[in-house]
């Protein structure tokens, strides 16, 4: 049956080829290159090895496919991720079998948790070796099934084109995500008839999402009309849907204040009068308090992550919930929705804006602003040492030097929360970070991908001294490719967020959190890059300005207070209105 099916497929391809005049017999490796070009791929990130070598052999004949040789396969996945987040296109990474493929796993899981469209291509041992524990054989299909949207093992050369096109469609349609294609070495070497697919029959990036229910839209509009203390909570789905204008139009017509999750930051401008801030574990007190008092939450493109909700039973206890998400599996998963709307965010917001009547919630907004002002007064009353660079001043200097037009790629830890809280987000889709998985080492390679995808846009990495060292080898890739990143390392000599938890919850038992690092100035010079070390707060602004004026990649080692903390903080398992807040002596 398999042989008969193969003959039918080949006969069909030949018949189609005869009509369009493009039939060619090509090796599987060349068919893979042709298929990638048909999908609009311009850049990919990878590392060669034995099982993927035929593809690399063919790649030299396809100069339009720019391959970036990373220094570790994990960085290839993160770079493809950053490229995809910044551009909205499908990112592509490549690795060989065995350890090459398994080194992609963390990057695939990162993309899966954050709904990032990616295609990972891995070589596999020849078909007759599969299942025999051959050299560098790993069941990467089995390994990655829980952390990919779909994956494929290509069984024959004539399947390659169809599999590639289907993989790209799966990756970018609906709720995006990573897809893996595993191709045995002998399949890459064998030849088959290649005919480009008929574009008229191919699905596109703009495939229609789930049908929007007019009944549910009317129900939602009724709840919005009845609400006295409503909030809009925006997530990553607004950015993925490119629904910035629709979100702003909806918020302005209803006069509902807007809060944004970590991955929803930069979907709504921080400078807008309706903007409040980020909710959750490290959200400002006035935002978390507003959730506690709200009578309606309109959640758009988010999954109510535990770092947002805290103790679920205490999250928005007085509020009804309108939940908009393209993935039906997210409905009622954490909080039961009064009105569940399975839809693309852009379509749902457009329909809701048409369905609702103009409203005024000035009294509610005034109440929240009063809480905010009270909190800000209390913060100003706390005296702090000012000698070392302050994280907020570093972020303010970056924003001033870039006019808010930079893409900021943060790693994971305290600096990530400072960046989320204190950078002023006005450029749409300017905030890239690992949210769901919280992957240290993400920022440097992801920023590399973002910079290549958005040439001409300044890209800043904000990282801690711990996470930065996890993929520090990619400085060589930056120098090799001539990529100009600006890097702010918030160096406190600790694994900062873990140390903070140890301070709060483990009686300051700083077990294995002090960490040393290299001399970053000398390290930058060793890679042919520029480095600076800043130890005083009054040097921050000049250093950032000098970095912007210097060609190429510049690393700034900001030596911050070792025990600086992120405030407020909600303890794990507590309600989000039960916050640990800063005191004059930072005692808890």
Please give the Cα distance from 10 to 581 (Å, whole number): 68
Order of strands across the sheet with 150-153?
Answer: 66-69, 43-46, 91-95, 118-124, 178-184, 150-153
Strands 569-570 and 407-410: unpaired
416 is an active site residue: no
DSSP SS3 for 459: strand
Query: Beta strands of 376-430 (E only): which ranges?
Result: 407-410
Q: At residue 198, what are phi and psi to the nearest 5 degrees? A: -70, 115
Angle between the N-to-C axes of helices 28-38 and 160-172, in degrees from 0 to 180, rounded to the nearest 10? 30
Q: 55-75 burial, b if ≥16 CB within 10 A, otherwise e?
A: bbebbeebeebebbebbbbbb
* Residue pair 170/203 in contact by the 8 Å Cβ criterion: no
**Residue 250 near residue 384 (C-beta atoms within 8 A):** no
Residue from 44, 490, 497, 579 carrying the catalytic annotation: 497
With contact defined as beta carbons under 8 Å apart, do 414 and 438 qualify? no
Strands (E), 423-575: 431-432, 459-464, 486-491, 530-534, 554-559, 569-570
Pick left, alpha or beta for residue 548 (phi over 0 → left; psi -120 to 50 → alpha; otherwise beta). Answer: alpha
Beta strands at 486-491 and 459-464: parallel, antiparallel or unpaired: parallel
Determine which one of 10, 16, 136, 479 is catalytic: 136
User: Choosing from 19, 22, 25, 135, which is the catalytic residue?
Assistant: 135
User: Of 89, 149, 185, 486, which residue is the catalytic one?
Assistant: 185
Residue identified by tokens 């950015």 is: 239
d(C-alpha 349, C-alpha 351), whole Å? 5
What is the rounded CA–CA span in Å between residue 402 and residue 297? 34
* Active-site residue flag, 379: no
Which residue in this structure is represented by tokens 């469609």? 169
Across 345-456, where does the E strand assignment appear?
Answer: 407-410, 431-432
For residue 348, which of 284, 410, 388, 298 has the smallest C-alpha distance?
298
Of the CA atoms within 13 Å of residue 500, those in its CB half-sphere come to 22
Asked if 494 contacts 562 with a C-beta cutoff of 8 angstroms, the reply is yes
C-alpha 78, offset from chain centre: 9
CA distance 43 to 481: 12
Annotation marks residue 417 as catalytic: no
Q: Contact, 584 vs 383, CB < 8 A?
A: yes
My answer on whether omega of the bond before 270 falls inside 30° of 0, hence cis, is: no
Residue with tokens 């890059």: 529
Our answer to whether residue 185 is catalytic in this structure is: yes
The answer to whether 135 is a known catalytic residue is: yes
Whole-angstrom Cα distance, residue 395 to residue 374? 23
- Identify the active-site residue in 34, 39, 73, 137: 73
Active site residues: 73, 135-136, 185, 497
């Amino acid at each position: 049956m398999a042989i008969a099916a193969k003959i039918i497929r080949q006969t069909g391809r030949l018949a189609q080829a005869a009509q369009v005049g493009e039939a060619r017999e090509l090796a599987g490796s060349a068919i893979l290159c042709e298929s990638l070009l048909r999908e609009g791929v311009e850049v990919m990130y990878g590392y060669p090895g034995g099982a993927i070598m035929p593809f690399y052999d063919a790649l030299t004949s396809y100069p339009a496919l720019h391959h970036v040789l990373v220094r570790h396969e994990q960085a290839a996945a993160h770079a493809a991720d950053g490229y995809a987040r910044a551009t909205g296109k499908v990112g592509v990474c490549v690795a060989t079998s065995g350890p090459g493929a398994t080194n992609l796993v963390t990057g695939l899981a990162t993309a899966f948790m954050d709904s990032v469209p990616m295609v990972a291509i891995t070589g596999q041992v020849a078909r007759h070796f599969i299942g025999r524990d051959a050299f560098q054989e790993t069941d990467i299909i089995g390994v990655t099934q829980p952390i990919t949207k779909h994956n494929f093992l290509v069984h024959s050369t004539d399947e390659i084109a169809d599999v590639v096109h289907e993989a790209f469609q799966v990756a970018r349609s609906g709720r995006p995500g990573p897809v893996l294609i595993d191709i045995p070495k002998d399949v890459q070497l064998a030849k088959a008839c290649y005919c480009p697919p008929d574009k008229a029959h191919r699905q596109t990036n703009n495939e229609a999402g789930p049908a929007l229910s007019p009944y549910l839209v009317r129900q939602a509009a009724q709840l919005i009309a009845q609400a006295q203390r409503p909030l809009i909570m925006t997530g990553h789905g607004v950015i993925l849907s490119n629904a910035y204008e629709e979100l702003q139009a909806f918020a302005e017509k209803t006069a509902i204040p807007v809060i944004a999750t970590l991955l929803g930051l930069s979907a709504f401008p921080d400078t807008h009068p309706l903007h409040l801030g980020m909710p959750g574990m490290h959200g400002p007190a006035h935002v978390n308090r507003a959730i506690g008092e709200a009578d309606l939450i309109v959640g758009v493109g988010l999954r109510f992550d535990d770092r947002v909700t805290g103790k679920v039973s205490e999250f928005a206890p007085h509020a009804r919930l309108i939940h908009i998400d393209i993935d039906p599996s997210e409905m009622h998963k954490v909080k039961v929705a009064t009105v569940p709307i399975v839809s693309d965010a852009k379509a749902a917001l457009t329909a809701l804006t048409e369905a609702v009547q103009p409203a005024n919630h000035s009294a509610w907004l005034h109440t929240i602003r009063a809480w905010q002002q009270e909190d800000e007064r209390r913060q100003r009353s706390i005296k702090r040492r000012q000698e070392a660079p302050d994280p907020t001043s570093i972020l303010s200097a970056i924003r001033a030097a870039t006019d808010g037009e930079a893409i900021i790629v943060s790693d994971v830890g305290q600096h990530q929360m400072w960046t989320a809280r204190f950078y002023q987000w006005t450029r749409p889709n300017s905030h890239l970070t690992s949210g769901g998985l919280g992957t240290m080492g993400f920022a440097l390679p992801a920023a590399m991908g973002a910079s290549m995808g958005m040439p001409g846009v300044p890209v800043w990495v904000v990282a801690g001294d711990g996470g930065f060292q996890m993929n520090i080898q990619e400085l060589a890739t930056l120098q090799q490719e001539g990529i100009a990143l600006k890097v702010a390392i918030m160096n406190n000599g600790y694994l900062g967020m873990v140390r903070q938890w140890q301070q709060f919850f483990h009686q300051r038992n700083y077990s294995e959190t002090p960490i040393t690092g290299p001399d970053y100035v000398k390290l930058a010079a060793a890679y042919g890059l520029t480095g600076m070390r800043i130890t005083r707060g009054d040097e921050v602004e000049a250093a950032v300005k000098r970095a912007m004026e210097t060609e190429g990649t510049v690393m700034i080692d900001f030596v911050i207070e070792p025990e600086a903390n992120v405030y407020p903080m909600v303890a794990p398992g507590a309600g989000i209105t039960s916050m640990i807040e800063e005191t004059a002596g930072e005692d808890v």
